[in-house]
Amino acid sequence: MGVFSKTCEYAMRAVFFIAHRTTAGERVGIREIAAGIDSPEAFLAKIMQDLTRRGIVNSIKGPNGGFYMDAASLKKPLSEVVLAVDGDGIFVGCGMGLEYCSAVNPCPLHNEFMEIRTRIQKMMQENTIGDFNEELNLGILSLKK
């Protein structure tokens, strides 16, 4: 397994994909998103339902409907997606799963892990979803397998 759950990987890719399209003013259907990020369509639909309920993306039903993001959503940090899907497990808590573990009562890995976690958190909080668009627009980055 990687750092994030598969669900979270799909969610991040989907959000980037929609953000990219939204800057062009479009709405995107679930089929196109799934194809664009190489994910199972029905499973992604479930994930999108959740992201929509939580207000991370917006959606409209019916013809010409689909998913999109407003300006406010584009300014949200990527950490919101991770928190919504995986919870705060990667940001907080002990690397060895010890509940007591803290600066006062550290586990063997505590200090080293602190730095790494802080770093992940920083990266996820400082980068907004919209931040990646420019590079995607230039075709430097990709979302497909």
Asked whether the CA dihedral 42, 43, 44, 45 is positive or negative, the reply is positive
What is the C-alpha to C-alpha distance for residues 120 and 2, in angstroms, rounded to an integer? 14
Would you tell me how many other CB atoms lie within 10 Å of the CB of residue 55?
13
Binding site for DNA (CB under 7 A): 1, 5-7, 10, 28-31, 39-43, 45-46, 48-49, 52-53, 59-67
- Please identify, among the stretches 5-13, 28-36, 57-65, 68-76, the one whose residues bind its own copies according to the rule CB under 8 A: 5-13
CB of 48 to its own copies, least distance (A): 16
Please name the amino acid found at residue 72: A
Among 3, 43, 52, 55, interactor with its own copies by CB under 8 A = 3
Measured CA angle at 125 (ends 101, 110), to 5 deg: 20
Counting contacts by CB under 8 A, is residue 74 touching its own copies? no
Phi-psi map region of 18: left, alpha, beta (phi>0 left; psi -120 to 50 alpha): alpha
Counting contacts by CB under 8 A, is residue 93 touching its own copies? yes
Among 58, 94, 114, 128, interactor with its own copies by CB under 8 A = 94
Please name the amino acid found at residue 22: T
- Please identify, among the stretches 41-49, 57-65, 67-75, 115-123, the one whose residues bind its own copies according to the rule CB under 8 A: 115-123
Counting contacts by CB under 8 A, is residue 49 touching its own copies? no
